[in-house]
Amino acid sequence: MYGVAAYVLWGVVPVYWKLMSAISPIEILAHRVVWGMVALFAIAHVAGARPAVRAAARDRRTLAMMALSGSLLLVNWGTYIAAVSAGRIVDASLGYFINPLVSVGFGTVLLHERLRRLQWLAIALALAGVAIQSWRIGHVPWISLVLAASFGSYGLVRKLARVDSLAGSTLETTMVAPLAIAFLTILAARGGGGLGHASVGMQLLLLSTGVVTAVPLVLFTSAARLLPLSTIGFLQYFTPSGQLILAVALYHEPFARAQWLAFGLIWLGLIVFTIDLVRRTRALSRTGR
């Protein structure tokens, strides 16, 4: 449920970024980092997780891994916000369709997670869909590949990090926040930036990026620590499916017949994987494991 909730929220978030199309993507990214850090510290305080945050901050290995995961988030968030602002939500959704393949690859190769027959079938279907979509585009889908690689790597780092979800999310945003604060400070000193200059509604949107960032991120990292990385990989299809529906139905981005075939294969792969997951869960419950 943590994973499903996180991916559904991420699936509808393009609507939020579209509302701020008058603001530059890099400024939105900076606000997202700063207010995300504030929101996460507030959540950690209410949840009584401040000791865990301090303990994690004293561990050098954890600090290094959170600096890495925070950097991967910067790349992923920045690329995604720029893609939405440029009207490339379909390309962004393809990236998140590829991302589960990256997660499954990391899980099987690096973490030695074993896949069952239906899971292999699901991967083959999804891979075929991604291949068709990439061929239809006619060029290397850089936006999609950057999004897939950055978030797949982020999931792997958070899987390996010895820190709970809330403390880790708080620490990783804190590690990269100085860059965002410096950018916003320089922007304000030059008389620019949305805060203090944009409409009241726009300023409220900028300030609320913290909540939009913190809630699904905590849900995701909770799921990442509790589930196999391969399962996390396929749950992620909820996000690009929602993004794709928004791109075509709400923002009228072009979507050809070949794309229906490609995305249909990917959705079929998700259905097959879900069936296998349900069967596996029922079998384990019967054996009491």
Residues 42-68: tens digit of each pLDDT: 989 988 989 999 999 999 999 999 999
Provide the whole-model pTM: 0.83
Classify each residue of 78-102 as buried b or exposed e, where b means 16 or more C-beta atoms within 10 Å of its C-beta: bbbbbbbbeebbbbbbbbbbbbbbb
Question: In this structure, what is the dihedral angle of CA atoms 64, 65, 66, 72, given to the nearest 10 degrees?
Answer: 110
Q: In Å, what is the CA distance from 235 to each residue of 213, 220, 226, 229, 269?
A: 19, 10, 13, 10, 11
Residue-wise pLDDT for 79-137, tens only, equals 999 999 999 998 888 888 777 778 777 888 887 878 888 888 888 888 888 788 777 76
